[in-house]
Amino acid sequence: LSEIEPSIKLYIFFLIQELLRVMRTIDDRIVHELNTTIPTASFVGKVDPGQTCKELYESLMDAHTNRERIIKNCIAQTSSVVKTLREEREKAQDDVALLKQLRKEQTKLKLMQSELNVEEVVNDRSWKVLSHLIVMMFCPNRQS
């Protein structure tokens, strides 16, 4: 990545953020997904709610795993670039352009690390909603 034009790197970074936003659609619409995939009382005999929950669970799990992998790959690559720039900076401490590039990469690294925190919050919220619905469906007498 170090040979790539800085403007292209920035564009790639924004594309990754947009990709993550799109990939989080299933989490953003979890209640809607549940309402459209889990059968109502009148359709319980026609649709297997256990299978439907399993499929939704697997979709969520795949989405979470894929997003986490993308974020961690970006963090690893950006960390490598930051490390290289730090090493170069130690050799050329008067290079203002190098310092500027290092700061940009450090900022990008912090943003990607914060994406990992956002991912954790999004995932937790989705699992809580799904768990609550499963308890309500399969244990209707239990208060949660």
**9: helix, strand or coil:** helix
Q: How far is CA 23 from the centre of its chain?
A: 7
Tell me how far apart the alpha carbons of residues 114 and 10 are, in angstroms, rounded to a whole number: 17
Per-residue pLDDT, averaged over 76-101, amounts to 93
Q: 43: which DSSP letter?
A: G
Whose structure tokens read 């700061």?
A: 103
pLDDT of residue 143: 52
Nearest 5°: CA angle at 102, between 100 and 103?
65
Number of domains in the chain: 1
Task: Let me know if residue 106 belongs to a domain.
Answer: yes
Whose structure tokens read 């499929």?
A: 55
Nearest 5°: CA angle at 138, between 135 and 141?
75
Q: What is the mean pLDDT of the chain?
A: 81
Asked if residue 90 has pLDDT above 90, the reply is yes
Task: Let me know if residue 103 belongs to a domain.
Answer: yes
Task: Let me know if residue 43 belongs to a domain.
Answer: no
Task: Let me know if residue 32 belongs to a domain.
Answer: yes
Asked if residue 87 has pLDDT above 60, the reply is yes
pLDDT of residue 139: 60
Q: 47: which DSSP letter?
A: S
Owning domain of residue 21? 6-36+50-138
Region for residue 117 given its phi and psi (left: phi exceeds 0; alpha: psi -120 to 50; beta: otherwise): alpha
Task: Let me know if residue 76 belongs to a domain.
Answer: yes
Task: Let me know if residue 116 belongs to a domain.
Answer: yes
pLDDT bucket at 1, cuts 50 / 70 / 90 = very low
pLDDT of residue 46: 67
Task: Let me know if residue 44 belongs to a domain.
Answer: no
Task: Let me know if residue 42 belongs to a domain.
Answer: no
